[in-house]
């Protein structure tokens, strides 16, 4: 069976609670051998951590989502570094900028983003970025901070413009394909991915959101990452097993802690 990793999902959301065992089982049956579930509010970290401890294929990351910055306490570098000591904590975030719904908190979002970047530097774990309607500020801050001191990063659920993609790739960051990239009308987005080096590509569901065809409009789940990855194979002109193997190598390179834990 072809193996693939869902690099970003939200298994702690209530929609999964009634059948979480089955959701994880379906993912594994589909060849999804690892899932990274993301905590978006640090006060919920214990619940998300418990999922990673409960299910062997599940790893986790934590941060303050930019849309929650105004209503949540500002994260500290020390807090994030402490959380990162857990053996299945593999990434910092998601963090970033979202000016579509929450532009009024733009300054606080930028402050929070810089905190998460420093935590990524200190832990050596990848930064997980959410970017929406903030391409210019996002490219500027990520590049400025990288030039001060390097860090690793993935642009989660990338659906921004080509300029932000280029800025991220120039820093050696990764772009993650979600179900959006598989939508029929996303040809321009697929062109942005196609212009990237395939060794900088990850795949994800962002479950329960953004289910790819043939499940579009339904609740997404980690098993469906296979459908997005198969579209990714087409984008890069690769056979499905070859593309999946490349995505696995990319994930192992960026999320090295998950690779080492899984091999232990």
* Interval 185-199: pLDDT, tens: 999 999 999 999 999
The three-state secondary structure class of 9 is strand
pTM over 0.95: yes
For residues 90 and 36, the answer to whether their CB atoms sit within 8 Å is yes
pLDDT of residue 259: 83
- Per-residue confidence band for 157, with pLDDT thresholds at 50, 70 and 90: very high
What is the average per-residue pLDDT within 123-137?
98
pLDDT of residue 124: 98
The set of residues, in sequence order, having a beta carbon less than 8 Å from that of 21 and lying 6+ positions away, is none
Go through the domains of the chain in sequence order and give each one's CATH number. 4-263 (3.20.20.140)
Mean pLDDT, all residues of the chain? 97
What is the average per-residue pLDDT within 11-28?
97
pLDDT of residue 30: 98
What is the average per-residue pLDDT within 154-169?
98
- Angular region, 172: left φ>0, alpha ψ -120 to 50, beta rest: left
For residues 77 and 120, the answer to whether their CB atoms sit within 8 Å is no
The three-state secondary structure class of 246 is helix
What is the average per-residue pLDDT within 234-255?
98
- Angular region, 149: left φ>0, alpha ψ -120 to 50, beta rest: beta
pLDDT of residue 260: 76
pLDDT of residue 261: 65
């Amino acid at each position: 069976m072809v193996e693939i990793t869902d690099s970003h999902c939200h298994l702690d959301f209530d929609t999964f609670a009634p059948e979480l065992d089955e959701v994880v089982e379906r993912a594994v049956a589909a060849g999804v051998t690892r899932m990274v579930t993301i905590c978006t509010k640090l006060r919920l970290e214990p619940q998300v951590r418990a999922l990673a401890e409960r299910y062997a294929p599940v790893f986790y990351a934590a941060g303050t989502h930019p849309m929650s910055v105004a209503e949540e306490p500002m994260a500290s570098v020390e807090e994030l570094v402490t959380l990162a000591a857990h053996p299945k904590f593999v990434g910092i975030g998601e963090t970033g900028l979202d000016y579509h719904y929450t532009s009024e908190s733009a300054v606080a979002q930028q402050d929070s983003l810089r905190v998460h970047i420093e935590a990524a530097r200190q832990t050596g774990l990848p930064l997980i970025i959410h970017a929406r309607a903030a391409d210019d500020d996002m490219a500027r801050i990520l590049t400025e901070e990288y030039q001060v001191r390097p860090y690793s990063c993935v642009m989660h659920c990338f659906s921004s413009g080509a300029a932000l993609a280029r800025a991220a790739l120039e820093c050696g960051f990764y772009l993650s394909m979600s179900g959006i990239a598989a939508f029929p009308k996303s040809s321009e987005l697929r062109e942005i991915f196609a212009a990237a080096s395939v060794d900088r590509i990850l795949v994800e569901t962002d479950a329960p959101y953004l289910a790819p065809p043939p499940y579009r409009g339904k609740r997404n789940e980690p098993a469906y990452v296979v459908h997005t990855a198969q579209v990714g194979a087409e984008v890069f002109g690769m056979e499905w097993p070859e593309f999946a193997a490349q995505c696995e190598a990319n994930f192992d390179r960026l999320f090295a802690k998950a690779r080492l834990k899984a091999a232990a």
